[in-house]
Structure 1
C-alpha cells in the first residue's frame, strides 16, 4: 500500500529526478527562463518582457563602469558627483529590493534590484576613497584595502543572493502558511517600500542637477552613466508594460501592483533628460569660453612677434 502520510504528494510514487519534477510545474513554459529565473513564461509577450528585463540588467551593470573609469583617471569624483545623488540612489535601490521581495514582484525585478545595490556600493566606496584621499588623510594603504574588501564582499553577495532567492521559491511549501492578515501587512510593507524607493529615485537627480548648476559644468562626470541609466530605466519599465494582461480588469490590478516601480523607472527617465540638457548646455558654454580665450591670446602673440 502506498504511503499516505503527511509527506505524500502526487509525485511521491513517481521515480523522477528533482529537475524533472520541477519541469512538471511549468510544462508549457520556456525551459531556459524557468531554469534561470523560476518564472513560467507561456506567451510571446512574457518572453519579450524577460528579454527586455535582462537588457535592463545589462545596462545598469555597465552604466557605472564609465563613471568608475573617469573617477579613477582624474581622482576628483567627490567634486563631480553629488553625495546626495549617490546616497539617494542607494536608498532607492535598497528599498526597491525590499519592496520587490515582500510583494513578490517578477523574479527578474528582484534579481535586478540586487545588482543595483551592488553597483551603488562600488560607486559610493570609490567616492569615499577619493574624498578621503584628496584630504590627504594618513593611512591611505589601509583605506584602499578596506574599500577593495568592501567591494569584493558586495560582488560576492550579488552572486549568492539571486541564487538563494530563486531557491527560496522552490522550497516554499504549505507548512509556511501565513494568515491573510499577516500576508496583507507584509504586502503593504512591501508597497510602502516600493513608493519610498520611487521617492528616493526621483529625489536622487535633484542634488546632481543642483551641483551641475552651481559649477556650471559637468566635467568629471561620465555622460554614459546617465545614458545607460536612461536606457536601463526605459527597458525596465518596458519589461513591466509588456506583461500587461489582455483583460481590462486584470490589467488595472497589474498596474496597481507594479505602480511604484513604473513611477520610479519612467519618472527618473524624465529627470535624466534634464541632466542630458545640462551636458549639452555646459559643453557649449565650455566651447565658447575656450574660443574667447583663444581670441584674447592670439593678438598678444602677434604683437610680440612684431616687436
Structure 2
C-alpha cells in the first residue's frame, strides 16, 4: 500500500536532498531542486485558493434565493474564458496543476450559471405567479355595489399588471437563456468533436502523443495558443460588467467578498508558480536539471511562448479583482455609505414606531 501511495522515483529523477525525494514521492512528480519545490507549493496553494473561491457566492445566492448582485456578463465571460483556458491548457500540455484548476473552474462556473438561470428566471417567474394567486378579488362587505365594483376592477387591474410583469420578465430573460445554452453547447460540442477517439474513449490531444494523428503537432499548438489568448482576453474583460453594475448601483449587495479575495489570491499564487518554474529560466537537455525536463528536453523561450497566455490571463486579472475590492471598500458592508443607509433605515423604523405609539395612545 505504501509503495502505491508513494511510488519510487524514476531513474532520471535526481533530487538534491532527502526532503525533495520525499516531496517528489508525495506529489508523484519529479521535484529535483528547491526552486521546483517552491513552484509546486505555490501551484498547490493556488488550487487551494480556487477550491473554495466560488463556494461563498454559491452559498450566498442560495441563502438570499437571488442573484441580483451578480452581473450576467461577468458570469458568461468568466465561463467562456475558463472553457478556453481548459482547452488551451490541455492542448498545450501545461503543468498538471494548471489543467486541474482549469477543469475545476468550468465545473464551478457551471454551478453559478445554473443558479443565475434558476433564481434569475425560473424562481422569479414562480414567485410572481404565487403573488398573482394570492391576489383576492373582492371588496368590503359593508360597501355598496359601486364600491364593490371599483374594488373588483382595481384588483383585476393589479392582477393583470402583475401578470404582465411576470411575462415581461420571462420574455426579457429567455433570450439570455437560449443564448447561453447555444454558446455553451456549441463550444463543448466543438471541443468534443476535435478530440481523436482511442478505444471508444475521447482523449485530449497533447503535443507528445499526437504524432501520426489526423492533426499535426503544429496545428494543435496553434489552436491551443489561439484559444489560450482568447481566454486571456475574456478574463481581462470579465470583471468589467460586474464593475459597471456595482458602480451603477453604488452597492456590492449580493456579492461575496470572499469570492474576489480568493480569486485574487489564486491568480497571485498561480502567476508566482509559473514565474518560479525552472523550465522558464533556462534550456534543458532531455531529463536535464535532475529530471525537471521531460524526455524531449526543454527550451525556455518555447516554454514561455506556450505559457504566456495563461500567465497574463491570471496576472492581468489581479488589477480587476483589486478594483472590485475597492468597490467593496466604498460601497460594501461597513463602508461609510452603508452606515449612512443603516442610520436612515433605523431612523425610519423609529419614526414609524413612534407614529404607532401615538395612534395607540389616542
Q: TM-score range by the shorter chain?
A: 0.7 to 0.9
Shift in CA distance, 246/260, structure 1 to aligned 2, threshold 3 Å? closer
Shift of 1:289: 2.4
Equivalent in 94, 101, 104 of residue 105 of structure 1: 94
Distance 2:243 2:251 in 1: 10
CA contact (8 A) 2:91 2:204 kept: no
Equivalent residue, structure 2, for 1:70: 60
Give structure 2 stretches of 5+ with no counterpart: 129-200, 285-298
Distance 1:302 1:263 in 2: 59
Shift in CA distance, 26/87, structure 1 to aligned 2, threshold 3 Å? farther
Equivalent residue, structure 1, for 2:264: 230
Shift in CA distance, 238/280, structure 1 to aligned 2, threshold 3 Å? same
Task: Write the mapping of 1:81-230 to structure 2, written as runs, cut at 5 A.
Answer: 81-131=70-120, 132-136=122-126, 177-178=211-212, 182-230=216-264
Distance 2:236 2:105 in 1: 16
Equivalent residue, structure 2, for 1:151: none
Equivalent in 2, 11, 28 of residue 14 of structure 2: 28
Distance 1:51 1:166 in 2: 28
Distance 1:40 1:274 in 2: 38
Distance 1:61 1:20 in 2: 24
Shift of 1:246: 3.8
Distance 1:246 1:42 in 2: 15
Give structure 1 stretches of 5+ with no counterpart: 1-16, 139-163
Equivalent in 274, 287, 290 of residue 342 of structure 2: 290
| Larger helix proportion of the pair | 1
3-state SS of paired residue (1:123): helix
3-state SS of paired residue (2:243): helix
Equivalent residue, structure 2, for 1:7: none
Shift in CA distance, 120/20, structure 1 to aligned 2, threshold 3 Å? closer
CA contact (8 A) 1:26 1:34 kept: no
Shift of 1:93: 0.8
Equivalent in 261, 265, 281 of residue 330 of structure 2: 281
Distance 2:6 2:27 in 1: 16
TM-score w.r.t. length of structure 1: 0.72
**Alpha-carbon RMSD:** 3.8
CA contact (8 A) 1:37 1:107 kept: no
Distance 1:97 1:73 in 2: 30
Shift in CA distance, 18/58, structure 1 to aligned 2, threshold 3 Å? closer
Equivalent in 315, 321, 329 of residue 266 of structure 1: 315
Who wins on radius of gyration, i.e. which is larger? 2
Shift of 1:218: 0.8
Distance 1:301 1:22 in 2: 75
Distance 2:101 2:95 in 1: 10
CA displacement, residues 199-224 of structure 1 (integer Å, 9 cap, x when unaligned): 11111101111111122211111000
Equivalent in 284, 306, 312 of residue 257 of structure 1: 306
